[in-house]
């Protein structure tokens, strides 16, 4: 009778232990957010604004500190996050550039990547970007159809950036004749070139408040017009301007566009290192989601004229998984268009 009784007791203990709730996570005392860009820029602004509100939605209200780690097009911060010396308890995060998660796919020879985007724990993004295609009323072509036979000159920015890459994408998938004049430091300088008549138009990398505030008066004064939106979703300020996906129906081309515009979807993504406990990841995601819906945060963002278009960590994780599983031939085509 002794052996069966011991087995019964052991079985009971196993059942009791299995029924016990998981031990609560130890509250974090501090969180460090490393921004992959210089102080004072848009990425830095989002990180510092989120950092002010995040403690209210985490157990123990930890101190949240923001540090800047620019370099290598965002790869420095991503490599640091995946490094062996970084704690795996959720106390160290990074706000990364929108391009870096896909850089190992689209620019594999331009930097040394010691991270795998699929292994990072994505917490969320405060917005997703949409590129906007504007042309002047004096441009030689006033519609996408006319641009199939007439050359239109666009002001571009640095190599690999949206304003320099997106015209090549449109030439490829829509058969347009867009010519890029590269080298402008940013969209504001590119728009100045458009206003001076140095270029017929410009395609932005995003639809920031600063960009919209610059182009809306041009459109209102009938000096320019907007032809197309480039991204995964529309900027709702321009509901009548078509999104690129509305013009392309075949599956292979839509997959190509998803790959090209995935960085627009990621926006300003925040990530945790690989290996963080799933319970901690869930806690950080829930806190981030709560911040992005919080009236106090939204009012703070509004005062700073910051655009908010929340993307969840789960959505970012799913998008990256989808992109990295695309056929190699499609990835090679995207790489050729990004050069």
Q: For the domain that residue 284 is a member of, what is the CATH number?
A: 3.40.190.150
CA-wise closest residue to 162 among 140, 191, 133, 192: 133
State pLDDT tens for residues 118-127: 999 999 999 9
Q: Is residue 6 part of a domain?
A: no
Instruction: Check residue 100 and report its DSSP letter.
Output: G
| Whether residue 159 is found in the same domain as residue 216 | yes
State pLDDT tens for residues 147-159: 999 999 999 987 7
| Whether residue 281 is found in the same domain as residue 198 | no
Determine the pLDDT at residue 8.
54
- Residues 6 or more apart whose CB falls under 8 angstroms from that of 50 comprise 33, 126, 270, 288, 291, 297
Q: Between residues 271 and 339, which one has the greater pLDDT?
A: 271
DSSP labels for 116-175? -TTTSEEEEES----EEEEEETTSS--STTGGGTS-EEEE--STTSHHHHHHHHHHHHH-
What is the Cα–Cα distance from 76 to 270, expressed in whole angstroms? Answer: 15
The pLDDT confidence band at residue 73, using thresholds 50, 70 and 90, is confident
- Residue 246 pLDDT more than 60? yes
Instruction: Give the residue from 262, 289, 324 where a domain finishes.
Output: 262
Q: Is residue 20 part of a domain?
A: no
Residue 258 near residue 330 (C-beta atoms within 8 A)? no
In the chain, pLDDT over 70 holds for what percent of residues? 91
Q: Is residue 117 part of a domain?
A: yes
| Whether residue 59 is found in the same domain as residue 144 | no
**Cα radius of gyration (the chain):** 23
- Residue 110 pLDDT more than 70? no
Determine the pLDDT at residue 42.
83
| Whether residue 36 is found in the same domain as residue 91 | yes
State pLDDT tens for residues 33-56: 999 988 988 889 999 999 999 999
Q: Is residue 43 part of a domain?
A: yes
State pLDDT tens for residues 1-24: 444 445 555 555 545 545 444 457
Q: Is residue 24 part of a domain?
A: no
What is the Cα–Cα distance from 203 to 244, expressed in whole angstroms? Answer: 13
Q: Is residue 165 part of a domain?
A: yes
| Whether residue 142 is found in the same domain as residue 237 | yes
Determine the pLDDT at residue 103.
87
Determine the pLDDT at residue 303.
94
Q: Is residue 23 part of a domain?
A: no
State pLDDT tens for residues 180-232: 998 888 888 899 999 999 999 999 988 877 788 899 999 999 999 999 999 99
Instruction: Give the residue from 230, 262, 294 where a domain finishes.
Output: 262
Determine the pLDDT at residue 20.
43
| Whether residue 207 is found in the same domain as residue 246 | yes
Residue 61 near residue 93 (C-beta atoms within 8 A)? no
What is the Cα–Cα distance from 147 to 20, expressed in whole angstroms? Answer: 66
State pLDDT tens for residues 290-333: 999 999 999 999 999 898 999 999 999 999 999 999 999 999 99
Q: Is residue 330 part of a domain?
A: yes
Number of domains in the chain: 2
Instruction: Give the residue from 222, 238, 262 where a domain finishes.
Output: 262
User: φ and ψ at 34, to 5 degrees?
Assistant: -95, 120
Query: Per residue, what are the HEC states of 13-76?
Result: HHHHHHHCCCCCCCCCCEEEEEECCCCCCHHHHHHHHHHHHHHHHCCCCCEEEEEECCCHHHHH
Return the CATH number at 239. Answer: 3.40.190.10
Paired with 67 in beta bridges are 34
Domain extent, residue 331, equals 30-127+267-338
The vertex-94 CA angle with 91 and 99, nearest 5°, equals 160
| Whether residue 48 is found in the same domain as residue 161 | no
- Residue 164 pLDDT more than 70? yes
What is the Cα–Cα distance from 74 to 270, expressed in whole angstroms? Answer: 12
Determine the pLDDT at residue 12.
53
| Distances, alpha carbon 182 to alpha carbons 45, 60, 160, 193, 261, in Å | 27, 50, 10, 11, 20
Instruction: Check residue 95 and report its DSSP letter.
Output: E
């Amino acid at each position: 009778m002794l052996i069966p009784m011991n087995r019964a007791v052991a079985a009971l203990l196993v059942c009791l232990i299995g029924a016990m709730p998981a031990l609560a996570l130890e509250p974090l005392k501090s969180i460090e957010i490393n921004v992959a860009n210089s102080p004072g820029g848009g990425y830095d602004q989002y990180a510092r604004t989120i950092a002010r509100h995040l403690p209210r939605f985490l157990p123990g209200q930890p101190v949240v500190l923001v540090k800047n780690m620019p370099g290598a097009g965002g790869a420095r911060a991503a490599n640091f996050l995946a490094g062996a010396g970084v704690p795996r308890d959720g106390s160290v995060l990074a706000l990364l550039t929108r391009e870096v998660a896909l850089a190992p796919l689209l620019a594999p020879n331009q930097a040394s990547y010691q991270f795998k985007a699929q292994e990072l724990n994505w917490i969320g993004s405060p917005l997703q970007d949409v590129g906007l295609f504007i042309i002047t009323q004096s441009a030689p072509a006033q519609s996408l159809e006319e641009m199939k036979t007439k050359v239109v000159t666009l002001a571009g920015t640095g190599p690999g950036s949206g304003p320099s890459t997106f015209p090549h994408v449109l030439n490829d998938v829509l058969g347009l004749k867009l010519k890029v004049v590269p080298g402008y430091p940013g969209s504001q300088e590119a728009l100045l070139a458009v206003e001076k008549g140095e270029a017929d138009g410009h395609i932005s990398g995003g639809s920031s408040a600063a960009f919209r505030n610059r182009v809306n008066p041009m459109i209102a004064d009938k000096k320019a017009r907007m032809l197309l939106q480039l991204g995964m979703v529309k900027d709702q300020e321009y509901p009548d301007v078509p999104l690129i996906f509305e013009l392309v129906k075949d599956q292979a081309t839509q997959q190509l566009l998803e790959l090209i515009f995935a960085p627009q979807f990621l926006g300003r993504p925040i990530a945790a290192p690989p290996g963080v406990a799933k319970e901690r990841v869930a806690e950080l995601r829930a806190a981030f989601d709560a911040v992005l819906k919080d009236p106090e945060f939204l009012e703070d963002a509004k005062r700073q004229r910051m655009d908010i278009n929340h993307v969840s960590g789960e959505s970012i994780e799913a998008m990256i998984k989808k992109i990295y599983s695309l056929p190699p031939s499609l990835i090679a085509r995207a790489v050729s268009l990004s050069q």
